[in-house]
Each structure stands twice: as C-alpha cells, then as structure tokens.
C-alpha cells in the first residue's frame, strides 16, 4: 500500500484549490533513439497520472526547461543500456498536489517546488522529496537555476580557479547557462569576454556586465582574441564545440583552463561530434601548461544543494539576472503546452534564444468551491 495524503475517497483526489486531479495526462516519451528530437520523441495523450510513494511528491508542472542535452538524452548517448520507451525532460517547477506520508514531514500540498529529474516533460511528475527544492513561489526564473545556473556555478567554482583580473571567455554567452557564467565571473572581478550571434544578444550581455562581446556572425573571433588579448585568456567556459573549441584552445594563456560543459554544434550529428584538430593537443597543452577538463553536472551532485541555495539567495537579493525566453519572438509565438517542446528545441538549435528557454504548461482550475 502507498499512503497518499490529501486524497478523497473517490477515484479522484483533491488538490489544494479544490479542483480534481485528472486520472490521465499528457507526457513526452522517447520511443526511438535518434539525434532528431522530433523523430525520437512522441507526445502521449492518455497516460495514467502517477501516484507518489511514501517519500514522494506529486508535482503539477507549471514550467519546464529546455536543455541542449535533451537531444543527447533522446539519442541514447548518456546511457547505452537504457532502451526506449523512457521519459524525457530534466527539470521542472510546479505545485505539490499530493504527497506520501513521509514526504509530508517536510512538504505540504500547495507548496511551490523545483526539481532536477528525468521525466519533467509531463503534466504531472513524481519527485522524491529529497530531490525537491522548496521555492517561495512558482516563477520561471527559478527554473533557470536548476541545471543552467548550477552548471555555471559549480564548474567555475570547482574548476575555474577564478580570481580578480583574470580574463574569462564564455562561448554562447547569451544562452541558458552562458548568462550565469558571465555574471558569476564578473562577481569574481574577472574581465569577461562573451561570444554571441547577434547585436541584440550583445546588448543583453553588456547589460549583465560582459566587458567585451564578440558577434561571431560579423566579427572574426580568432582575430579579435589575438588582437585584444595577445597574452591569451585564463579561463574558457565552452559549450559550442567544433571550430569554436579550436579557437578557444588556441586562445588560452599560460596555465589557462578550458572547461568543456557541452558541444552543442555536434549534438544533432549522427555521431554527436564535429572533428577538432586534436593531433596537436598534447603539444598545445604542454607549450602553455594549459588544461582541459570536462564538466557534467551529475558528477557533482554533492555540491548541488549548496550551489542552488547560493543562487536562489542571489536572485532573491536582486544580484542575479535570470533571463527567460518563452519564444515570444518565434514564428509561432510563445512556447505553451507540451506540444511546443518540439518547437522550443528547434528554436534553441538555430541559436535564437536569449537566456534560458522555458515552456509553460497551462492548467485550468475547475474550482468546486
């Protein structure tokens, strides 16, 4: 038996606003492994709403985050042993609408929470209470911190060795995680350079403290870095891959550090990789006593709660901009409903977004009061 609080004695149970939680819901499921998200993922309509176990919360998702790695996950690149069908989506923000008895020691129905867990692309998700993060309210800005903000915070803290006056290059700087790398490096009193693909993105980067923006569509990144930073950059926060990786590697200063948090340029390729000029890599690193290190958030979960606590406090104090992109400027308008996740992924891969791409899941409450 799995005891559930706040259930009526009928086949429906009641949420905190007196509305009925349905017996079925929509969710996205990976039904075929492919780097083409639209081919890999299916929107399923009449899936039973899951029931939370003793230590679980049932969260009604209000906002879900889009990540570049969603495509890696749907292509089966993270765990070759996992076979379709499986749930997708890494993060969500919503309301607790039911919970198990043990979970009720720390949470209540109606509470706003955020979480990082596979399966967020659904109207309702069961989340272990120990993995949930209580929030003061349901706001999409909080969602930006779960994966994107935490990745920037922990990687720069653990691997960046930031200190005053260091030169930090952030690639895809106006994106979901780049925006945080820029701000956190500035708070460490570094000089920050950000690459982006439009003057509009450049304006946003300057507004959050970026010292030098490079629009790679209109400027030669290699030339700018060689001319303006002849001694190189001390830290690179790199998420693009391919040619940008090579440029970043070549621009490292003596004892420079290159942190790889992704390689989005290769995610939609069948192999997942674009070639880099790695033959000279040992010589390049030796020549500069430089280093390259990968960062994958799942390997640093021991630091996760601490990082989120700091980031949430910074946002609440007004010390951190959490830019959200709902796709209002996309051709078909705002990303609303699970069916728009497909558009949101496409939007990210053509590089249109400024900040974190978020999809809103509307919920109509039929109050019984």
- Which residues, at least 6 apart from 97, have a Cβ–Cβ distance to it below 8 Å? 6, 15, 16, 21, 58, 59, 60, 109, 124
126-135 residue pLDDT tens: 999 999 999 9
Structure confidence at residue 20 (pLDDT):
64
Structure confidence at residue 38 (pLDDT):
97
DSSP letter (8 states) at residue 180:
H
DSSP letter (8 states) at residue 199:
H
**Distance from chain centroid for Cα 15:** 29
Closest CA to 137 of 93, 92, 176: 93
147-201 residue pLDDT tens: 999 999 999 999 999 999 999 999 999 999 999 999 999 999 999 999 999 999 9
Q: Quote the CATH superfamily of domain 24-138+323-360.
A: Medium-chain alcohol dehydrogenases, catalytic domain (3.90.180.10)
Q: In this structure, what token pair is assigned to residue 283?
A: 């010589």
331-335 long-range contacts, Cβ below 8 Å, gap at least 24? 334/360, 335/359, 335/360
135-146 residue pLDDT tens: 999 999 999 999
Q: In this structure, what token pair is assigned to residue 354?
A: 């400024």
Q: Does the domain at residues 146-299 carry the CATH identifier 3.40.50.720? A: yes
**Whether 61 contacts 120, CB under 8 Å:** yes
User: Does the bond joining 85 to the residue before it have cis omega, within 30 degrees of 0?
Assistant: yes
Please give the mean pLDDT across all residues of the chain: 91
**Whether 250 contacts 229, CB under 8 Å:** no
Structure confidence at residue 352 (pLDDT):
93
- Find the radius of gyration of the CA atoms of the chain: 21
**Residues in the chain where the model's pLDDT stays below 50:** 1-3, 6-16, 18, 365-369
Structure confidence at residue 366 (pLDDT):
43
Domain ranges of the chain: 24-138+323-360, 146-299
Q: In this structure, what token pair is assigned to residue 220?
A: 């030669």
Q: Is 147 exposed, middle or buried (0-12, 13-18, 19+ CB in 10 A)?
A: buried
Q: Is 217 exposed, middle or buried (0-12, 13-18, 19+ CB in 10 A)?
A: exposed
Tell me the whole-structure pTM to 2 decimals.
0.92
Structure confidence at residue 101 (pLDDT):
85
């Amino acid at each position: 038996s799995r005891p559930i609080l706040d259930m009526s004695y009928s086949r429906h149970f009641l949420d905190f606003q007196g509305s009925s939680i349905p017996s079925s819901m929509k969710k996205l499921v990976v039904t075929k492994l492919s780097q083409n998200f639209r081919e890999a993922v299916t929107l399923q309509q009449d899936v039973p709403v899951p029931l939370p176990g003793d230590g679980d919360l049932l969260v009604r998702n209000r906002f879900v985050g889009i990540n570049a790695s969603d495509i890696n996950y749907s292509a089966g690149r993270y765990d070759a042993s996992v076979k379709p069908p499986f749930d997708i989506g890494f993060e969500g923000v919503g309301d607790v609408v039911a919970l198990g008895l043990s979970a009720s020691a720390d949470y209540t129905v109606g509470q706003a929470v955020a979480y990082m867990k596979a399966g967020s692309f659904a109207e309702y998700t069961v989340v272990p209470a120990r993995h949930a993060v209580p929030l003061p309210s349901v706001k999409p800005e909080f969602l930006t911190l779960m994966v994107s903000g935490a990745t920037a915070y922990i990687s720069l803290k653990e691997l960046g060795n930031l200190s005053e006056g260091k030169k930090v290059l952030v690639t895809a700087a106006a994106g979901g995680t780049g925006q945080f790398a820029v701000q956190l490096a500035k708070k460490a009193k570094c000089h920050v350079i950000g690459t982006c693909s439009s003057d509009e993105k450049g304006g946003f980067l300057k507004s959050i403290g970026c010292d030098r923006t490079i629009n790679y569509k209109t400027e030669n990144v290699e030339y700018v870095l060689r001319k303006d930073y002849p001694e190189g950059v001390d830290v690179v926060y790199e998420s693009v891959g391919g040619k940008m990786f090579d440029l970043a590697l070549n621009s490292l200063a003596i004892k420079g550090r290159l942190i790889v948090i992704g390689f989005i340029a290769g995610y939609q390729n069948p192999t997942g990789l674009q070639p880099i000029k790695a033959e000279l890599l040992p010589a390049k690193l030796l020549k500069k006593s430089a280093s390259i290190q990968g960062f994958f958030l799942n390997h640093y979960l021991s630091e996760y709660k601490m990082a989120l606590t700091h980031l949430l406090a910074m946002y609440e104090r007004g010390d951190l901009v959490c830019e959200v992109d709902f796709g209002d400027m996309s051709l078909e308008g705002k990303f609303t409903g699970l069916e728009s996740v497909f558009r949101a992924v496409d939007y990210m891969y053509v590089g249109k977004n400024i900040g974190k791409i978020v999809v809103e899941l509307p919920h109509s409450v039929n109050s019984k009061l």
